[in-house]
Amino acid sequence: MGLAIGSLALPSRVIQSPLAACSDLPFRLVARRRGLGFCFLEMVSAQSLTRANEKTLRMLQSSPEDRPLGAQLIGCDPGMMAEAAALLAERGFDLIDMNLGCPVKKVVSNGEGSALLKDPDRAERVFRAVRGAVKSLPVTVKMRKGFQDPSGDEAVELARRAQDAGLDAVTVHGRTQAQQYSGRADWEAIGRVKRAVKIPVIGNGDVLSAEDARRLFEVSGCDGVMIGRGGLGNPWIYRALDAGLRGLREKPPVPTVAERKAALLEHFDLERRHLGDRQAALNMRRISVWYTQGLPHNKAVRVAVCSTMDCGEIERLLREFFDRLPADAPPPQAPVLLTE
Ligand SMILES: Cc1cc2nc3c(=O)[nH]c(=O)nc-3n(C[C@H](O)[C@H](O)[C@H](O)COP(=O)(O)O)c2cc1C
């Protein structure tokens, strides 16, 4: 069973969320090669994009293997959002999403991200402007369940407006802006949104296993599930969730230590090839934390990776770490404490 978002027919109901500074091209390629069907670039600022900011343009980096792919915009000016959406459509992305969830103070104080939950009239103007600028692609919005109000009313209101503006789907992260990443995601609130609209609703928040995904669907009645942090260092999660949702009796095997080592080294190699050695060395400080989560003696290797810019040395450290692991090392775990 797949997921249809406007004209886009996805074979799986499991998708990967946009993750700033994480869901770059290497991350996406490693995940796609292990079963991920649809994912997003990290969010890009509409203002930076329309100004052709070099760093922002680099964030659009993709490849033929990296399809279908959604792009996500953050901004609150309807005209600028429309202009940026048209630029993204020209570049061949398969879907344009708008960010109404980012809780970061600086973003919120600009009236962007989750701040739009408090200003539904402006949010609707943004929806209509982007919809008007992008006729041929699915347009969606990803929001939190509310700004401060935990009831879910704000998400229901915004989802209705999104539907009226002609958007093709909404994603709801079951936390408020005020919660940031604390507490548990409220899947009931996702269910409230699902019951309020006819367009597909994608549920998000705290899904780390096939059992979590099954319960999210049961509690909320949602149409798709978006994985965020659960995908970091665990590119096998999509296939496991998909198999669980399809009710397949045969579960995909838990990756072996050798497979985990190979995935991390592949991730590193892709970082070097696509971003260059300097950026790859810096990014490995974060990436090696994901892949070593929950593994014995991970602290020493993380410290060592953080203390060198020499890519050859980083590779040696990672190989040595995995070669010393016992075959029955604990399975991949999400780095749950990471926040935006
Ligand atoms: C490091 C990090 C970066 C994120 N960047 C984005 C982003 O660019 N756009 C977005 O809509 N959400 C972003 N999020 C939120 C996630 O996409 C997701 O909604 C949230 O983590 C809840 O899902 P999870 O519990 O499965 O992680 C980010 C979250 C984290 C932890």
What 8-state DSSP symbol labels residue 173? E
In short, whether 104's Cβ falls inside 6 Å of ligand 1 is no
Question: Which residues are CB-contacts of 236 (< 8 A; sequence separation ≥ 6)?
Answer: 34, 35, 252, 254, 255, 259, 332
Residues counted in the chain: 340
Which residue, among 268, 253, 273, 278, has the nearest Cα to 321 in the 3D structure?
268
Q: Which atom of ligand 1 is nearest to the CA of 204?
A: 23
Q: Please give the average per-residue pLDDT across 168-184, as a whole number.
A: 97
What 8-state DSSP symbol labels residue 22? T
Selected from 1.10.1200, 1.10.3470, 3.90.1690, 3.30.420, the CATH number assigned to the domain covering 257-323 reads 1.10.1200
Q: Please give the average per-residue pLDDT across 56-79, as a whole number.
A: 97
CA dihedral over 70, 74, 79, 83, signed as positive or negative:
negative
Under the banding of pLDDT at 50, 70 and 90, the label for residue 335 is low
CA–CA gap between residue 158 and residue 109 (Å, rounded) = 20
What would be the CATH architecture of the domain defined by 3-246?
Answer: Alpha-Beta Barrel (3.20)
CA–CA gap between residue 237 and residue 246 (Å, rounded) = 14
CA dihedral over 291, 297, 300, 303, signed as positive or negative:
positive
In short, whether 43's Cβ falls inside 6 Å of ligand 1 is yes
294 has a pLDDT exceeding 70: yes
| Residue 181 Cα to ligand 1 middle (Å) | 9
Predicted TM-score of the model (pTM): 0.96
Under the banding of pLDDT at 50, 70 and 90, the label for residue 162 is very high
Nearest protein CA to atom 10 of ligand 1, as residue: 18
Q: Please give the average per-residue pLDDT across 188-198, as a whole number.
A: 98
Q: What residues are labeled active site?
A: 102
Q: Output the pLDDT for position 336.
A: 54
User: Range with the lowest mean pLDDT among 22-26, 47-51, 294-298?
Assistant: 294-298
Are 108 and 64 in contact by the 8 Å Cβ rule? The answer is no
Element (H, E) at 130: helix 120-133
| Residue 339 Cα to ligand 1 middle (Å) | 8
166 has a pLDDT exceeding 90: yes
Q: Which amino acid is at 324?
A: R
337 has a pLDDT exceeding 60: no
| Residue 340 Cα to ligand 1 middle (Å) | 7
User: Range with the lowest mean pLDDT among 159-168, 184-193, 203-212, 325-334?
Assistant: 325-334
Q: Which atom of ligand 1 is nearest to the CA of 175?
A: 22
40 has a pLDDT exceeding 90: yes
In short, whether 339's Cβ falls inside 6 Å of ligand 1 is yes
Tokens, residue 119: 């200003």
Q: Please give the average per-residue pLDDT across 28-43, as a whole number.
A: 97
Best probe residue, ligand 1, of 72, 96, 229 (max atoms within 8 Å of C-beta): 229
Percent of all residues in the chain with a pLDDT value above 70, rounded to a whole number? 98
In short, whether 336's Cβ falls inside 6 Å of ligand 1 is no
Percent of all residues in the chain with a pLDDT value above 90, rounded to a whole number? 93
Under the banding of pLDDT at 50, 70 and 90, the label for residue 330 is confident
Query: What are the residue ranges spanned by the domains of the chain?
Result: 3-246, 257-323
Best probe residue, ligand 1, of 14, 15, 19 (max atoms within 8 Å of C-beta): 19
Under the banding of pLDDT at 50, 70 and 90, the label for residue 340 is very low
In short, whether 229's Cβ falls inside 6 Å of ligand 1 is yes
Q: Please give the average per-residue pLDDT across 125-149, as a whole number.
A: 98
Residue 227, strand partner residues: 16
| Residue 49 Cα to ligand 1 middle (Å) | 20
339 has a pLDDT exceeding 70: no
Nearest protein CA to atom 16 of ligand 1, as residue: 228
Per residue in 301-328, pLDDT (tens digit) is: 999 999 999 999 999 999 999 999 998 8
In short, whether 204's Cβ falls inside 6 Å of ligand 1 is yes
Nearest protein CA to atom 21 of ligand 1, as residue: 228
Q: Which atom of ligand 1 is nearest to the CA of 185?
A: 25
Q: Which atom of ligand 1 is nearest to the CA of 99?
A: 11
SS3 169: strand
Tokens, residue 303: 């410290």
189 has a pLDDT exceeding 60: yes
Tokens, residue 14: 């499991």
| Residue 262 Cα to ligand 1 middle (Å) | 26
